[in-house]
Amino acid sequence: MPSSFDYIITGAGCAGLSLLMRLLQEPNLQQKKILVIDKNTKKSNDRTWCFWESGTGLFEPIVHHRWQQLRFVAPETDRTFSIAPFQYKMIRGIDFYDYVHSHSASYNNVHFLQATVKHWRNTAQGVVVETDKGVFSATFMFNSIVHATQLPPPGFKGYFLWQHFKGKIIQTTTPVFDAEKATFMDFTVSQHNGTTFMYVLPFTANTALVEYTLFTEQLLAPESYDAAIDDYMLEKYGIDPTYEVLHEEFGKIPMTNYHFQARDGNIIPIGIAGGQAKGSSGYAFYFIQQQTEAIVNSLLVFGEPKKQGITLQQQKFRWFDKVLLRVLQEQLLPGHEVFAAIFKQNTPATILRFLNNESSLREDLQIMRSVPMRVFLPAALHTALFRK
């Protein structure tokens, strides 16, 4: 294995492998010497990603399941809607890792190393990355390893919640799920801990991914997530906790208005480390695709990953995220009331475009009109005037 490369990608997860896949699509970049480092083998299905898009994406061949209808449930609201022109798509982590590994196998300029990255630093020539299996250099490093220095520092004055969840693929003996509909949010669960909902993605009448999700400052004790799923299965589907569990996953994603560093010399943070989780929803897969596509475009045009300026459109969505985070974190209104107001009064396509930071000004105004002004107007003014 050489010790010097054009690009080192640290972390072979969603962002690292999305970037690699996109580099290999480009005739002018696919011959670059690339080293991809991860401490894990990435041979297990450690997570599932869902996102929505209207066309076909780079990872279309590995979409595991897709839904055309979403259901939203809150006290006194139960709405199922077609999401055309979007589809809600699911990709399994293991399919994603295998797909990118097998695609890159034919490129002998791409090297994978299973190692723990210890340090990285800028040098006059580029970057140096120290691992437990050696020291490597490159012109650019694309880093998806979240280091403490990348997260909001202690005393951060802005908003910060964890989106945390436990998901289980449950197999029942009796047919109880409607495989046509994905339940995007079901708020008819206890809100005792803060904004809390269930997320149910059925594959067949007998199998579904059921995920207990919270937007709160503190995580729960591990057994609380299991108990909540058991209660939900019993109450909503009459299934006792002897159901079979085919897969389990746990996640915690930062939801914050903190501005993650875009580039430090020749080190470019990508993925969660690069602030690609949407502040008010925690969705990241779609934004990671956009970030890695922008990096590749910049490499093609300028020969380097130029620091992207923040567009007016991005500033607008950052502000919206901040206002919503303020409402949720300060508990100015229960989260389920906020989302119920939005889902009752807007078309699904408008909501999904809004959540993907792609809505027009007219659609933004529609969404704003649908939320309680007595709460959101002061929150909007507060976030515009004060740092927090």
Ligand X SMILES: Cc1cc2nc3c(=O)[nH]c(=O)nc-3n(C[C@H](O)[C@H](O)[C@H](O)COP(=O)(O)OP(=O)(O)OC[C@H]3O[C@@H](n4cnc5c(N)ncnc54)[C@H](O)[C@@H]3O)c2cc1C
Q: Classify 384 in phi/psi space as left (phi over 0), alpha (psi -120 to 50) or beta.
A: alpha
Residue 94 within binding range of ligand X, rule CB under 6 A: no
Long-range contact set of residues 132-137: C-beta below 8 Å, sequence gap at least 24: 134/3, 135/3, 136/3, 136/4, 136/5, 136/8, 136/35, 136/37, 137/3, 137/4, 137/5
Half-sphere exposure of 220 (CA within 13 A, CB side): 23
Q: Name residue, tokens 């007219």.
A: 362
Q: Tell the smallest beta-carbon distance from residue 382 to ligand X (Å).
A: 28
Q: Residue 235: CB partners within 8 Å, gap ≥ 6? A: none
Region of 6-14, 79-87, 182-190, 237-245 interacting with ligand X (CB under 6 A): 6-14
Indicate which single residue of 7, 49, 184, 317 sits in contact with ligand X (rule: CB under 6 A): 49
Residue 11 within binding range of ligand X, rule CB under 6 A: yes
Q: Residue 140: CB partners within 8 Å, gap ≥ 6? A: 6, 7, 8, 126, 127, 266, 267, 268, 304, 305
Indicate which single residue of 47, 164, 322, 353 sits in contact with ligand X (rule: CB under 6 A): 47
Residue 13 within binding range of ligand X, rule CB under 6 A: yes
- Outline where DSSP puts E strands in the chain: 4-10, 34-38, 48-53, 63-67, 69-74, 77-82, 87-92, 110-114, 117-122, 127-131, 134-143, 160-171, 181-186, 195-202, 207-216, 244-256, 267-269
Residues 344-383 that bind ligand X (CB under 6 A): none
Residues 255-314 that bind ligand X (CB under 6 A): 271-273, 283-285, 288
Whole-angstrom Cα distance, residue 328 to residue 333?
A: 7
Residue 142 within binding range of ligand X, rule CB under 6 A: no
Pick between residue 182 and residue 341 the one whose CB is nearest to ligand X: 182
Pick between residue 81 and residue 250 the one whose CB is nearest to ligand X: 250
Q: Residue 260: CB partners within 8 Å, gap ≥ 6? A: 150, 269, 273, 274, 275
Region of 48-56, 81-89, 185-193, 304-312 interacting with ligand X (CB under 6 A): 48-56
319 phi, psi to nearest 5 deg: -70, -45
Cα 365 versus chain centre, distance: 25
Selection from 172, 181, 126, 108 nearest residue 4 by Cα: 126
Region of 47-55, 80-88, 121-129, 351-359 interacting with ligand X (CB under 6 A): 47-55
Pick between residue 40 and residue 315 the one whose CB is nearest to ligand X: 40
Q: Tell the smallest beta-carbon distance from residue 182 to ligand X (Å).
A: 11
Q: How far apart are the first and last CA of the chain?
A: 49
Q: Pairing mode, if any, of strands 34-38 and 110-114?
A: parallel
Indicate which single residue of 23, 24, 35, 38 sits in contact with ligand X (rule: CB under 6 A): 38
Residue 100 within binding range of ligand X, rule CB under 6 A: no
Residue 253 within binding range of ligand X, rule CB under 6 A: yes
Pick between residue 14 and residue 367 the one whose CB is nearest to ligand X: 14
Pick between residue 287 and residue 343 the one whose CB is nearest to ligand X: 287
Pick between residue 272 and residue 341 the one whose CB is nearest to ligand X: 272
Q: Tell the smallest beta-carbon distance from residue 273 to ligand X (Å).
A: 6
User: What is the identity of the amino acid at 383?
Assistant: T
Residue 145 within binding range of ligand X, rule CB under 6 A: yes
Q: Tell the smallest beta-carbon distance from residue 250 to ligand X (Å).
A: 6
Pick between residue 275 and residue 334 the one whose CB is nearest to ligand X: 275
Pick between residue 38 and residue 337 the one whose CB is nearest to ligand X: 38
Indicate which single residue of 226, 249, 264, 304 sits in contact with ligand X (rule: CB under 6 A): 249
Pick between residue 252 and residue 369 the one whose CB is nearest to ligand X: 252
**Interacting residues toward ligand X by CB under 6 A:** 11-16, 37-40, 47, 49-51, 116-117, 144-145, 249, 251, 253, 271-273, 283-285, 288
